[in-house]
Amino acid sequence: MAGEESKKLKLYSDWLSSCAGRVRIGLNLKGLEYEYVPVNLLKEEQQTPEFLKLNPVGFVPVLVDGDVVLADSFAILMYLEEKFPQHSLLPKDLHGRGINYQKFMKEKLGPDADVAWARDQIRRGFAALEKLLKDYSGKYATGDEVFLADLFLAPQIDGAIRRFKVDMDEFPLLARIFKAYLELPAFRDAMPGRQPDTPAEHRD
């Protein structure tokens, strides 16, 4: 039993990180247990020598699977997809995969990002997404099943609402999709307000 426990996946995460959030969703969808290791970005714990040994770039998330250490959410999700094929994160058809591989928005809005500037960037990105997804969306971003695009989109929308107070009435398609995400435990339990390191005042 102890041997099995030592093989458990380990995720280094910050509760508010959208990049870590998409990995949390992926782990949940695949039904994988993991140890959550909090890394407080505001306290710059990602710059400690211990963490920089795992990821010299100094970003979360980092996934540790035995001797395998991976940083970058996309790389982590592709690794999980290859190793744990249950609940595939990609559709079978090539076109559907291509749509899911598209980068939806620029990443790395830091914890100290200027709110007005960030809100403007998010609104521009969301306006483009509304146009892009109108031809592909179903219940979720690229159809009626959850795929990779949804894992990227859900934390972005949550952050837009939670951190930057974006009015989602401007984006009815995205608002509808986000509501559908929150009906799924895999998504709901991965949201920032429900993490072990979520500050009490931000808990859902």
- Is this prediction's pTM over 0.75? yes
Structure confidence at residue 112 (pLDDT) = 54
Average predicted confidence (pLDDT) for the chain: 91
d(C-alpha 155, C-alpha 19), whole Å: 8
What is the CB neighbour count within 10 angstroms for residue 150?
Answer: 25
Structure confidence at residue 18 (pLDDT) = 92
Question: Average pLDDT for residues 168-172, to the nearest whole number?
Answer: 96
Give the least confident one: 84-88, 117-121, 134-138, 147-151: 117-121
Between residues 110 and 37, the one the model is more confident about: 37
| Cα end-to-end distance, the chain, whole Å | 34
Structure confidence at residue 102 (pLDDT) = 81
Closest to 13 measured CA to CA, from 192, 187, 149? 192
Structure confidence at residue 29 (pLDDT) = 97
Structure confidence at residue 114 (pLDDT) = 72
